[in-house]
Amino acid sequence: MPEQSQSVPETRTAAAAALPAGGISRRALLGTAGATGLVLGAAGAGVGYAAAPAQATPLSSVGSDRAMFHGKHQPGITEGLQARGHLVAFDLAAGAGRTEAAALLRRWSTTAGRLMAGEPMTQDDTDVARDAGPSALTITFGFGNSFFSRTGLEKQRPSALDPLPDFSSDHLDKSRSNGDLWVQIGADDALVAFHALRAIQKDAGSAAKVRWQMNGFNRTPGATAHPMTARNLMGQLDGTRNPKPTESDFDQRIFVPSSGEPGWMANGSYAVVRRIRMLLDDWEKLSLTAQENVIGRKKSNGAPLSGGTETTAMDLEKARADGEYVVPINAHARITRPDQNGGAAILRRPFSYHDGIDADGTPDAGLLFVCWQADPLRGFVPLQRKLDRGDALSQYIRHEASGLFAVPGGAAAGEYVGQRLLEG
């Protein structure tokens, strides 16, 4: 769980607003007022969706926030953390190949574009998200290593998609790892996210079947007095050193250049997905001081143990009177610093998860770790290898599932995601 790259801090706040009764379409709630969030008419709403009254209460900012489907990059990479998420992998059905995959990505892209705009599906909409706006919905698509042999596109498989090496902390369940296709869904409303999940599953039809699905959550935007770095289920501020889009080398670290190889991955990125169980019972037995020494930061405000605030540079050479380093030599934050790893950096955008209680009373909870980089061999892999060699946090976590996916650049208007690969 490299700490240098979890979450882009929350930037949205939620204003309390009552929604009108009587069944209003998602499109009507969105209206045509753009950033104002005002609800205007409902002309053109999908069949079965009620028209909005002449005067309607505006959506709160949580409901009206909208991400764009078409663009240079796919959505769901640089946006802030979302309150609800679903990660789902599909395998192509027996006999399905390149033609069926292209038709599926075309369907998925059409559905994603509509739902992210706050519109219903073109047909057979379930009405689950009927009363909601877009709620910052993002839907992201990627290809696993096995996709290319299934579709006869082996020559287009990127070398960066080679299987990840084994790590000492791995206890991987192969049935919940990898997959031909991967979809990430995020939203600031649970029903909007679930609605998108069902739509994507229904669109798969006979072309693909679900291999595995994982459900996660984060704090709702606006739940804190001011935007701040998110906390994980260990109670730690997590993601203090996440790369920021304003940094001059951000695109170089996170996205494949437009001149990169293979050409169809231009402006895309690689997603490493890990289901990391947190051994919370063991962690919570530690004293506050012991927890802070494991991480290398104050639990209260995320400041390094060497002093300052959350954003203060960590002083790795500062020592106590007894000669020991103030930030322990095996502290998670020390090990994962980019300047201690040849500049290796990843953009973390995870979800927490809780999947119930095991028979022995142990919580099945932790992190759905998702990180983005231009090349996993220069991002995730060297960081995880370093953590393998002595991270104090490793005895309190367990990696239980894993996947690596090539996520192509965004689709231009009129295109579908992956079109340059599948029709190139």
Nearest to 192 by CA among 123, 121, 142: 121
Q: Are strands 363-373 and 347-348 parallel, antiparallel or unpaired?
A: antiparallel
User: Helix (H, G, I), strand (E, B), or coil: what is residue 273?
Assistant: strand
Is 238 among the catalytic positions? yes
Euclidean distance between CA atoms 48 and 273, whole angstroms: 38
Cα radius of gyration (the chain): 22
Nearest to 221 by CA among 83, 118, 351, 37: 83
- 8 Å CB contact between 269 and 373: yes
Distances (CA, A) of 348 to 3, 83, 233, 244: 9, 15, 16, 11
- 8 Å CB contact between 207 and 92: yes
Name the token pair of 98: 């390149």
Q: For residue 139, list its beta bridge partners.
A: 185
**Residues written for the chain:** 424
Q: How many CB atoms sit inside 10 A of residue 44's CB?
A: 11
Span between the terminal Cα atoms of the chain, in Å:
37
Euclidean distance between CA atoms 391 and 393, whole angstroms: 5
Q: Are strands 397-407 and 269-278 parallel, antiparallel or unpaired?
A: antiparallel
Q: What angle do CA 184, 122, 114 make, to 5 degrees?
A: 45
Phi, psi of 30 (to 5 degrees): -65, -40
DSSP states of 192-217? HHHHHHHHHHHHHTTTEEEEEEEEEE
Q: Quick one: 41 exposed, middle or buried, by C-beta within 10 A (0-12, 13-18, 19+)? A: middle
How are the residues of the chain apportioned to helix, strand and coil, as percentages rounded to the nearest 5?
A: 25, 20, 55
DSSP states of 397-420? EEEEEEEEEEEPPPPPTT--TTHH
Of the residues 125, 188, 203, 238, only one is catalytic, namely 238
Catalytic residues: 238
